[in-house]
Structure 1
């Protein structure tokens, strides 16, 4: 979605859906309720991270004296998501251990390689879904004076669904990940999303704005707005994986400069010349990144590890303690800026701003006239 720009009529006709994380939260809350009331309703309402309430129909599986299992069918709306129609099943079991523990049932992946948001050995239930589930279960646990519960998420067809993703390449083994940061899925076809990026830049140009900030998602946009509070809101475009589209549209509509506010994964792809940064597209060229690192007189063992890295996050971990880290990350930004200027036919000045996962600035570089 292009933030701050009104959706077109075409977008309004598309039906939004819900993330696997939202579905798991609904099923988990319903399961805990059913431990205390086996005849509870067949629908449940939860609060999404974006502040909206959503209601889910429930599939009732089983209830015992200290556990319950409830399922929710994932509805992705009009988004072409491979998990659309999948059943997200959650078993909640009362525990004497304090707090909420998460487990991967059949069809939910386990993290086996470093470089992701979760530690090796953890079930692939991402941080925001975990936070959602906790925020819904903890008040009910306190109300009934229960110390803790074990939450196990199962997706019956998850191992097959995972074959349509790159999860296995990232070390996510055994099924899919439970994902989502907003709770909702906003559907856009590739052409519609690209058209939205172009439209947003055209609107900004008509307002005589000459600097655009292209971000890759809500997290990078939030940080970009904090960095540049003086800029008009329509200067910020969530280009997502369509940075290349945003660059060429900016050149077309006589924007003078563009700043890319990105995180390490997308940045590495841009730095190696890939202007389409979707996870299903061209992978990160870690061999090229390792060559740039060689210029900083780094131990050969680190070079080999960088060549074999799996994700941008993993790359950051590998270089974190190196004295050349700032210079190396600046070089990646510079290479991304050079490719971006070339892609925009040298009609723009491009700055690249790398932010860390906590929002802090790691490096930046500018290229162009």
Structure 2
């Protein structure tokens, strides 16, 4: 009988029966290491790397290439894993890294090239160049004109720069790294960036540093978990996953992404929908932004209209789904709506 495997990224323990169904020993090693997931059918699906991780690898490699060609680098991911990514050295201090999306066929940024150029400097710094979008609208977490680089991705890239400088040694005290994405502007038109007020390119993102293989097989596995649980928390993202486990330790917590409708259709027993307000409120009330002048729920969050609109949406949802509790949280886990 095969043993259970615990995913080091999500903390989910794959049942022994799932492991037994898998005929791919190498794939199971990837699952154990956190670079792949296992479905209930025993299929192994590979995780990819986010734009933030790809940029971090390019940044580190550019610094190392000041001392000679580099073929690969190891970077620390926000989730705690260490990943090795291949890179191509273009010249001294200039490197490109191609985004790998794993088994996520619909990822529009798959294969995108991120270019990094490093120059010695007195201290470390990061500059966003062509193909990286910038914000045309201000919000709580960014200002107008700021590059579209999430806090987690920026921290990962800056850490990679520090690690690169430390590894190179030789009296190098710092480096200025400029990132660019040659095809970023074209690819951005196929993303949600224009609707979010981000122009000029794509965003550098990544909460865990990994891209989840969201395909039909994974959706089936997720719904298997939801339907099998008598007490389940449905959560839409990594932040929700973390705090749902703290708020509801006696429930099965399942990361469903944007599959809210599908999950509610198969859930039974005690059901909680928990996470950041963006996806959840847009699902509960698709018209919640109408007439507000806001293009995202996060923008609405900073206005006086947010609370009454949120309360109205939650009441409407409660009338439709009286057996489902909704808990909306801030990024620090503070409950802002619904009930525990």
The normalised TM-score by structure 2 is 0.81
Corresponding residue for residue 119 of structure 1: 143
1:51 equivalent to 2:80? Answer yes
Equivalent of 1:103 in 127, 140, 148: 127
Shift of residue 51, structure 1, vs aligned partner: 2.3
Equivalent of 1:259 in 249, 272, 275: 272
Equivalent of 1:157 in 176, 179, 183: 183
Asked whether the equivalents of residues 270 and 336 of structure 1 are also in contact (C-alpha less than 8 Å), the reply is no
SS in 1 for 2:97: strand
Equivalent of 2:318 in 310, 320, 337: 337
Shift of residue 9, structure 1, vs aligned partner: 5.5
In the aligned structure 2, how far is the partner of 1:246 from the partner of 1:186? 18
1:361 equivalent to 2:327? Answer no
- C-alpha change, 1:94 and 1:334, in structure 2 (3 Å) is farther
In the aligned structure 2, how far is the partner of 1:162 from the partner of 1:201? 34
Equivalent of 2:302 in 314, 317, 322: 317
Asked whether the equivalents of residues 88 and 97 of structure 2 are also in contact (C-alpha less than 8 Å), the reply is yes
In the aligned structure 1, how far is the partner of 2:267 from the partner of 2:248? 19
- C-alpha change, 1:311 and 1:326, in structure 2 (3 Å) is closer
- C-alpha change, 1:147 and 1:200, in structure 2 (3 Å) is same
- C-alpha change, 1:79 and 1:139, in structure 2 (3 Å) is closer
- C-alpha change, 1:328 and 1:145, in structure 2 (3 Å) is farther
Equivalent of 2:97 in 64, 69, 72: 72
The normalised TM-score by structure 1 is 0.75
Asked whether the equivalents of residues 214 and 259 of structure 1 are also in contact (C-alpha less than 8 Å), the reply is yes
State the Cα RMSD in Å.
2.5
Asked whether the equivalents of residues 152 and 207 of structure 2 are also in contact (C-alpha less than 8 Å), the reply is yes
Corresponding residue for residue 28 of structure 1: 59
Equivalent of 2:253 in 232, 236, 253: 236
Corresponding residue for residue 223 of structure 1: 243
In the aligned structure 1, how far is the partner of 2:174 from the partner of 2:244? 39
**Aligned positions of 1:118-157 closer than 5 A:** 118-141=142-165, 148-157=174-183
Corresponding residue for residue 245 of structure 1: 262
In the aligned structure 2, how far is the partner of 1:261 from the partner of 1:193? 20
1:17 equivalent to 2:2? Answer no
Shift of residue 329, structure 1, vs aligned partner: 3.4
Corresponding residue for residue 345 of structure 1: none
Q: Which has the larger radius of gyration?
A: 1
Shift of residue 139, structure 1, vs aligned partner: 4.5
In the aligned structure 2, how far is the partner of 1:361 from the partner of 1:144? 50
Number of residue pairs the alignment of both structures matches: 306
- C-alpha change, 1:145 and 1:131, in structure 2 (3 Å) is farther
User: Which runs of 5 or more structure 1 residues have no equivalent in the other structure?
Assistant: 275-283, 291-306, 342-347
